[in-house]
């Protein structure tokens, strides 16, 4: 059973959160699924020096190239991916989900999803296939599924308010749990929006992954 993991770069501040990405992959393989990595072939919004936390002025990196670090080179451009080839899709978090896959980090309720990512996510939704959004990635759910979709980013009031303003039905959720919209077959979990360590993130991610696979 082949499933897609959509990455947004490599590194929590400007790309995919590495722990969340690896935990998602590990949970999927343990459950017997075959993950395949996808990412958009675009420039990152910016590059962050992960040691200082500051923008690395003058540097530019490509989301697909950086995502290949996590995927150990086995990754494809999401623009060339066909939703029909996958049983489900998983979106790990990290600021890349809100900076590269979308511009939620910069525009909030007025954000847009990167066109290739939106096409793929909507194709999954329209085919009635399940999806799992992790950490900050659930901020994209209202634009993919429309008004009323149940979603969680944990308990952060400001982010929850923005998700609600976009039409999502936000549900507060502890780090070790998840929220499921059974009608739309979409699952979300807070992960590092709340997790204080990798063990806490792992519990919620594995639970969300298994809940998503159960919807197939």
From 10, 111, 132, 135, active-site residue: 135
Can you state the angle between helices 198-213 and 18-30, rounded to 10 degrees?
A: 50
What's the pTM?
0.98
Which of helix, strand or coil describes residue 172? coil
What is the per-residue pLDDT across 144-183, written as a single tens digit (0 to 9) for each? 999 999 999 999 999 999 999 999 999 999 999 999 999 9
Q: CA angle, corner 55, sides to 50 and 56, nearest 5?
A: 85
- What is the number of helices (H) and of strands (E) in the chain? 8, 9
For the chain, give the mean pLDDT. 98
Most distant CA pair in the chain: distance in Å? 46
- Domain with 130, as residue range(s), is 2-213
Start-to-end C-alpha separation, the chain:
10
Q: How confident is the model at residue 65 (pLDDT cuts 50, 70, 90)?
A: very high
Q: What is the CATH number of the domain that holds 134?
A: 3.40.50.880
Asked if residue 20 lies in contact with residue 92, where contact means CB atoms within 8 angstroms, the answer is yes
Q: What three-state secondary structure class fits 60? A: coil
Q: CA-CA distance, 21 to 10, in Å (whole number)?
A: 9
**Mean pLDDT, residues 32-39:** 98
Q: Active-site residue 173, yes or no?
A: no
**What is the predicted pLDDT for the residue at 14?**
98
Per-residue pLDDT tens for 186-211? 999 999 999 999 999 999 999 999 99
Strand pairing category for 131-134 and 34-39: unpaired
CB count, 10 Å around CB of 195?
22
Strand 75-77 to 89-91 pairing: unpaired
Say which residues have a Cβ less than 8 Å from residue 29's Cβ, sequence separation at least 6: 35
Segment (H or E) for 26: helix 18-30
* Domain tally, the chain: 1
Separation of alpha carbons 153 and 136, rounded Å: 6
Q: Which two tokens stand for residue 84?
A: 């029909």
């Amino acid at each position: 059973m082949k499933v897609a993991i959509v990455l947004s770069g490599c590194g929590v501040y400007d790309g995919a959160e590495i722990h969340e990405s690896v935990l998602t992959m590990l949970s999927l393989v343990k459950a017997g699924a075959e993950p395949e990595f996808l990412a958009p072939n675009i420039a990152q919004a910016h590059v962050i020096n992960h040691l200082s936390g500051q923008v690395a002025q003058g540097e530019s990196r490509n989301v697909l190239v950086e995502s290949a670090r996590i995927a150990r080179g086995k990754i494809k451009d999401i623009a060339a991916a066909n939703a029909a080839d996958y049983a489900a899709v998983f979106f790990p978090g990290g600021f890349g989900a809100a900076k590269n896959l979308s511009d939620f980090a910069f525009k909030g309720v007025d954000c847009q999803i990167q066109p290739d990512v939106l096409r793929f996510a909507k194709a999954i939704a329209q085919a009635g296939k399940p999806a799992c959004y992790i950490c900050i990635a659930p901020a994209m759910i209202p634009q993919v599924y429309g008004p009323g979709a149940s979603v969680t980013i944990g308990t952060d009031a400001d982010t929850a308010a923005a998700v609600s303003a976009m039409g999502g039905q936000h549900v507060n959720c502890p780090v070790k749990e998840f929220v499921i919209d059974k009608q739309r077959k979409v699952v979300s979990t807070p992960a590092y929006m709340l997790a204080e360590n990798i063990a806490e993130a792992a519990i919620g991610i594995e639970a969300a992954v298994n809940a998503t696979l159960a919807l197939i």
